[in-house]
Amino acid sequence: MDGVNFFLTFHLLILCSSTFLVPVKANTNETDLYALLSFKSLISGDPLGMLSSWNNTLPHCQWTGVMCGRRHTDRVTALVLNSKELSGHISPFLANLTFLQKLSLSDNKLTGSIPDDLGRLSRLQFINFSMNSLEDLQVLDLGDNQFEGTIPGSIANLSTSLYILALNSNPISGSIPRGVDKLTNLIALNLGQTLLRGPIPKEIGNLGKLQMLDLSASMMSSKIPSTFGNFTGMTKLYLQNNNLEGHIPPEISNMHVLELLNISNNKLTGEIPKEIMYLPSLSIGLFLSNNYLSGALPLEIGKMKNVMEVSLTNNNLSGEIPSTIEGCQLLQILHLNGNLFHGPIPPSMSNIKGLQELDLSNNKFSGGVPEFLAEMQLQKLNLSFNNFEGELPEKGVFRNISAINVSGNPKLCGGIPKLQLPKCSKNITERRYLSRRFIATIILIATAFFFLLIALLLLTSCYWSRRTQTNPQHTIDLKYQFNSVSYNELLRATNAFSLENLIGRGTFGVVYRAPISFKNVTTVVAVKVLNLEQHGACKSFLSECEALRNVRHRNVMKVLNVCSSIDHQGNNFKALVFEFMPNGSLDAWLHNSGTNRPFRSLKLVQMLNIAIDVATGLDYLHKHGPHPIVHCDLKPSNVLLDANMTARIGDFGLARLLVEPHTLFSQSTASTAGIKGSIGYIPPEYGMGSQVSVEGDVYSYGILLFEMFTGLSPTDERFRDGFNICKHIEVAFPEKIMDITDTKLLSVNDEGEMYAIENVEDILYTKNSKVVVNMEAVLWLTPQSSLDFFAKLATLPRTDNKLETE
């Protein structure tokens, strides 16, 4: 697509969030023929008779306006019908012209809207619909192409209905037109990874509805406009890898729902505004690396209670790490390397229980290396090139030489032999031994006192329990081992269950986003409120509690709290509190569901990692948990993604426990009768009365993989009259398997990735519903990488890997 001019007109559209239309016909020449005939069928007026040649008397490559390729002589590469006075609508079946490079229908009388499906034409280089009556342009996505030139000022004349404008990853140059602020309904503006230069126009602050702004990896200069404070609905702001100068404007603190701020790799100066630290919504990360920021780390850093990653690498920051950093209770990654920090590592950092990666290298830190670092869940620790001294611990992360770096600290000693540090002197060792013995004595005394206190409390409780009789509590049985949360707490946290906090709906209830305090620490959670008027909702609540009460796995959703109480009207109230998944469901990423979120898509590596995560979670539920659990409703909307795009299996409202394989634990845990699951993902044998089984989950997993790698839902409207997603794969298998693979996954350059794509449908190819593979077979070795996962799948015997028919 090199050398293609950047062509942008009032009615130009490429929508990438659509569904690809694939006919049942197998011959590719028939595919193009039927697509052209469908286009003709929607043309209501042809006064010049330009489509009169479009019939069976001539091959379709000789029809007026149709051009075919030199190599693939029967595949349509261009459709040019300019100024033909055609009227009618544009057929969505043009999306089946998969070799189409040029589409020009300008200066006609076409009406309606541009079909979403044209966004899947991956070879398209030129498109022109100008001088028609096309309307309601809402999404303009030209990202990830080779369009050149400048953005014309006429962009200001685009439809005011436009809510997504994406020109990212193109070699377009020039500056941002000032007229862009006329697109007042934009919620997503993506101009990242281009050759745009010059200042960011302050008028861009007039786009008050923006939720995502990406100007990254360009050549923007000047200051960050203070008008950015008008973006009160902004959730993600990407300004990294530019030439921005000046201070970080404190007006950014007006972005009350900001989840991610990335201004790294610029030329910013001054101190970090403390106002930014007061954004409780900042959860994904704060990235200010590779600038010229100076001053101390604000004491208010502890106000960022929900932030998961902070990167301040390579600045001129100084002072000590404030003890208030312990307030960052959800912090997982902290990078402070390449600054001028000094002093000891504060003891309060031991309270950040989830910290996994800590980099303090190339600073002036001093003192001993704290023992508590060995007790944390650290996976990477870099303390190199500082002034640490004394004995190095040998437990925890310090046992893994590949996970730590302590070089450049000449006064350190001890540690594991592989570090080759000098042995500690006797005085240092004795002091540490005495210190440990003193601590152990204190702990022993405190423990004895604690148990004595507990015994007194139990005696007092027994005495008063004989004198008083309490009413039954409306709380879940303690056997579920969950913390309880009151109805009033949930009412306050969700603002009386207002629609503005509503983030999802399910079969048995709705889900709200809410900040809730746990042990004096506020964190954002997801609250699932059961609709008890819905048949089966109460059993769903019990089933989910029973299934998840002892489950602990990184790929399975975790229940934080439960509420079983009475609301203010005297009605029963039941709710489950889960970890909040900021990246939503897999379904939203596959089909871009939700009109209020900007377009987004998954990269191939992310797709493979998600497939691995789901397989690993299912394998744990089936084989390695306290009891075997059958999920019974695996589908993309029940696969949730955390801030790191790690997949978690959720919604266990239909789950069943098994005591023995293929044996139901208890009928009381069933939340439905009859068919168990969602249409399209249910094994056919369930519909014939078969009991639920782990094999049924594996069938649903196979359907989920088909959906991920074809981009089609099994309930898509084209799947009817006995034609389903399995037969859709069968029609194309094996020669045309690449034709039905999601075109976004075909834009890879790595041969290994292409091999993985070519094998995924082959590996999981199905002809029927009888599942003969389990997750243990899928994950028979722990994968070291995404490609390794598919390579191992490919080695499974074909007969053990298909859903065979009799």
Across the range 403-416, mean pLDDT stands at 92
| 23 vs 625, higher pLDDT | 625
Residues paired with 467 in a beta bridge: none
Which range has the worst mean pLDDT, 131-135, 292-296, 298-302, 416-420? 131-135
Domain assignment present for 413: yes
* Residue-wise pLDDT tens digits, 714-757: 888 777 777 888 888 777 776 777 777 777 766 555 555 555 55
Q: What confidence score (pLDDT) does residue 332 get?
A: 92
Q: What confidence score (pLDDT) does residue 149 get?
A: 79
Q: Which of 261, 148, 149, 246 is nearest to 200 (CA)?
A: 246
Q: What confidence score (pLDDT) does residue 368 get?
A: 94
Which range has the worst mean pLDDT, 8-17, 574-583, 763-772? 8-17
557 Cβ neighbours under 8 A, 6+ residues apart: 548, 578, 579, 581, 640, 648, 649, 650, 651, 652
Three-state DSSP class for residue 160: coil
Find the CATH number of the domain harbouring 534. 3.30.200.20
Domain assignment present for 238: no
Are residue 759 and residue 640 in the same domain, yes or no?
A: yes
Alpha helices (runs of H) in 331-425, residue ranges in sequence order: 372-375
Which range has the worst mean pLDDT, 85-99, 213-227, 363-377, 462-476? 462-476
Integer-rounded Cα radius of gyration of the chain: 30
Domain assignment present for 601: yes
| 157 vs 216, higher pLDDT | 216
Across the range 581-596, mean pLDDT stands at 77
For residue 296, how far is the Cα from the chain centroid?
A: 33
Confidence check: pLDDT of 292 > 70: yes
528 marked ligand binding residue: yes
State residue 753 phi and psi, 5-degree precision. Answer: -65, -40
Confidence check: pLDDT of 83 > 50: yes
| 792 vs 38, higher pLDDT | 38
Q: What confidence score (pLDDT) does residue 45 get?
A: 92
Q: What confidence score (pLDDT) does residue 20 get?
A: 30
Q: Which of 32, 214, 587, 633 is catalytic?
A: 633
Q: What is the overall mean pLDDT for the chain?
A: 77
Confidence check: pLDDT of 497 > 80: yes
Angle at 710 between CA 705 and CA 716, to 5 degrees: 95
Confidence check: pLDDT of 293 > 90: yes
Across the range 666-695, mean pLDDT stands at 64
Q: What confidence score (pLDDT) does residue 442 get?
A: 60
Across the range 574-599, mean pLDDT stands at 77
Across the range 686-708, mean pLDDT stands at 82
Q: What confidence score (pLDDT) does residue 227 get?
A: 92
Q: What confidence score (pLDDT) does residue 414 get?
A: 92
Provide the number of structural domains found in the chain: 4
Please give the C-alpha separations between residue 5 and each of 2, 152, 196, 590, 633, in angstroms, as whole numbers: 9, 12, 16, 30, 48
Confidence check: pLDDT of 633 > 50: yes
β 502-505/509-518 pair status: antiparallel
Residue 459 — pLDDT band, cuts 50, 70, 90? Answer: low
Q: What confidence score (pLDDT) does residue 472 get?
A: 33
Across the range 174-202, mean pLDDT stands at 89
Domain assignment present for 108: no
- Cβ atoms of 631 and 619 closer than 8 Å: no
Are residue 638 and residue 695 in the same domain, yes or no?
A: yes
Most confident of 27-36, 240-249, 486-495: 240-249
Which pair of tokens denotes residue 612?
């691995």
Are residue 625 and residue 696 in the same domain, yes or no?
A: yes
| 48 vs 448, higher pLDDT | 48
Are residue 509 and residue 410 in the same domain, yes or no?
A: no
Distance CA 1, CA 409 (A): 53
Which residues in 66-173 belong to E strands, given as ranges? 66-68, 76-80, 87-88, 102-104, 109-112, 126-128, 133-134, 139-141, 149-150, 164-166, 172-173
Confidence check: pLDDT of 190 > 80: yes
Q: What confidence score (pLDDT) does residue 147 get?
A: 67
Which pair of tokens denotes residue 605?
């590596």
| 447 vs 232, higher pLDDT | 232
Domain extent, residue 538, equals: 474-580
Domain assignment present for 539: yes
Are residue 659 and residue 569 in the same domain, yes or no?
A: no
Q: What confidence score (pLDDT) does residue 568 get?
A: 79
Are residue 459 and residue 491 in the same domain, yes or no?
A: no
Distance CA 562, CA 578 (A): 9
Domain assignment present for 385: yes
Are residue 634 and residue 685 in the same domain, yes or no?
A: yes
Percent of the chain predicted with pLDDT > 90? 30
Confidence check: pLDDT of 234 > 80: yes
Is 633 one of the catalytic residues?
A: yes
Are residue 669 and residue 767 in the same domain, yes or no?
A: yes
Confidence check: pLDDT of 267 > 90: yes
795 Cβ neighbours under 8 A, 6+ residues apart: none
Which range has the worst mean pLDDT, 110-119, 208-217, 327-336, 615-624? 110-119
β 572-579/521-530 pair status: antiparallel
Are residue 673 and residue 554 in the same domain, yes or no?
A: no
Alpha helices (runs of H) in 389-536, residue ranges in sequence order: 426-467, 487-493
Find the CATH number of the domain harbouring 648. 1.10.510.10
Q: Could you tell me if residue 462 is left (phi over 0), alpha (psi between -120 and 50 degrees) or otherwise beta? A: alpha
Distance CA 765, CA 788 (A): 19
Are residue 326 and residue 415 in the same domain, yes or no?
A: yes
| 308 vs 116, higher pLDDT | 308
Find the CATH number of the domain harbouring 341. 3.80.10.10
Residue 214 — pLDDT band, cuts 50, 70, 90? Answer: very high
Percent of the chain predicted with pLDDT > 70? 73
Domain assignment present for 241: no
Are residue 397 and residue 495 in the same domain, yes or no?
A: no
Residue 339 — pLDDT band, cuts 50, 70, 90? Answer: very high
Residue 691 — pLDDT band, cuts 50, 70, 90? Answer: confident
Confidence check: pLDDT of 614 > 80: yes
* Residue-wise pLDDT tens digits, 654-664: 666 664 444 33
Cis preceding linkage at 734, omega within 30? yes
Are residue 418 and residue 314 in the same domain, yes or no?
A: yes
Q: What confidence score (pLDDT) does residue 397 get?
A: 92
Q: How many CB atoms lie within 10 A of CB 62?
A: 11
| 455 vs 266, higher pLDDT | 266
Q: What confidence score (pLDDT) does residue 326 get?
A: 93
Domain assignment present for 46: no
